[in-house]
Structure 1
Amino acid sequence: MASSAASATGPSEEFRYAGNRLGLPEDGPGSVATWGRRVLALLIDWLIAGLIASVLTGRPMWAGGGNFGLMHSTVFFAMSAILAGLAGATIGHRLCGLRVAAVGRGTAYTGQPGLLAGVIRALLISLLIPAVVFDRDRRGLHDLAAKTVVVRR
């Protein structure tokens, strides 16, 4: 009886920390990435895509207008899909000490997600809403659809 009362007040065995259900460590390498690092990585990638789009359009990033917005979005999508899918991390992820891991049968593993998973993630991140709807393992709808999780290196 005492054990059921104790378990009712504490976290369930299924959810003790983000990533527990996926078999990930609570902290350190391989643990689920924090929101701060993920947002910083996204901003770095967005800035890099903007700089590339500036070179391709011949317009400074801050000027916008013309085809800049479309070019910026296209570069961001391509960069995110290819790098996250095939290399396991975008430039922003690498600079922030993160990587994208594929999830298989409920547990994360170290393999690369693959190009299809990268395309799914990038497409949904580009739509923004799926990235801000997430579960208790800090996996947005884009990660759930692509069967990925962002973890610390």
Structure 2
Amino acid sequence: MARWTGEWLSTLSDGGAADGREPSRWPGERLGLPERGPRSAAGGGRRFGTLLVDLVVASLLTALFFPPDYTDPDVMQAYNLWSLAMWAVVTVVPVTFSGFTPGMALTGIRVARLDGSATVGLWRAVVRCVLTFLIVPPAVRDQDNRGWHDRATGTVVVTMR
């Protein structure tokens, strides 16, 4: 069963030692990240706060170009679709080049590649965005606080300060 579900399910019962490795003492230890401070693995609270900030930013930017009309369901449906598209842009473009969204900059976290490359790159940013939209991949995290979207793209979210 552990092979099918990956390492995240085996960590629930035995602290991650099912594969013969020593369990981590802190999230990110196996990746060479410090226990706390800059470049340590970001926690779930900061990551969720980042998502909320990015959604609000996308909604406000959409309202600049497409004013919502709360009395017309068709206008609101279009507004919601444009907000989703704006969220994708607000997420993909900055992460591709700088590694962080406006919400990440506010909360002090960023996306980093495990191979040490300076930029995340377009395909990784797009895959992360699509998997984040599906909600479940970022919600299911391993012992290093990496969701399925991080594991699929070879990235980790770390603190900047």
Tell me the equivalent position of 1:72.
Answer: 83
Which secondary structure state, in structure 2, belongs to the residue aligned with residue 26 of structure 1? Answer: coil
Q: Is residue 58–residue 86 contact of structure 2 (8 Å, CA) maintained in 1? A: yes
Superposed displacement of residue 13, structure 1: 3.6
1:123-142 deviation digits (Å, cap 9, x = unpaired): 11111121111111111111
Count of aligned pairs between the two proteins: 140
1:52-111 deviation digits (Å, cap 9, x = unpaired): 1112211169x872301111111111111111121110010011111110112xxxx362
Q: Distance in 2 between matches of 1:15 and 1:139?
A: 13
Structure 1 segments of 4+ aligned residues over 6 angstroms from their partners: none
1:45 to 43, 50, 54: 54
TM-score with structure 2 setting the length:
0.79
Which secondary structure state, in structure 1, belongs to the residue aligned with residue 39 of structure 2? Answer: coil
Tell me the equivalent position of 1:93.
Answer: 104
For structure 1, which runs of at least 5 residues remain unmatched after alignment? 1-10
Per residue, is there more helix in 1 or in 2?
A: 2
Q: Aligned partner of 2:154: which letter? A: K
1:21-58 deviation digits (Å, cap 9, x = unpaired): 11100100000011111111111101000111112211
Tell me the equivalent position of 2:153.
Answer: 146
Tell me the equivalent position of 1:35.
Answer: 44
TM-score with structure 1 setting the length:
0.83
Q: Is residue 19–residue 137 contact of structure 1 (8 Å, CA) maintained in 2? A: yes
The CA RMSD measured in Å over matched residues stands at 2.3
Q: Is residue 69–residue 76 contact of structure 2 (8 Å, CA) maintained in 1? A: no
1:129 to 122, 131, 136: 136
Q: Aligned partner of 1:97: which letter? A: G
Q: Is residue 101–residue 113 contact of structure 1 (8 Å, CA) maintained in 2? A: yes
Identity of aligned residues (%): 36
Which secondary structure state, in structure 1, belongs to the residue aligned with residue 35 of structure 2? Answer: coil
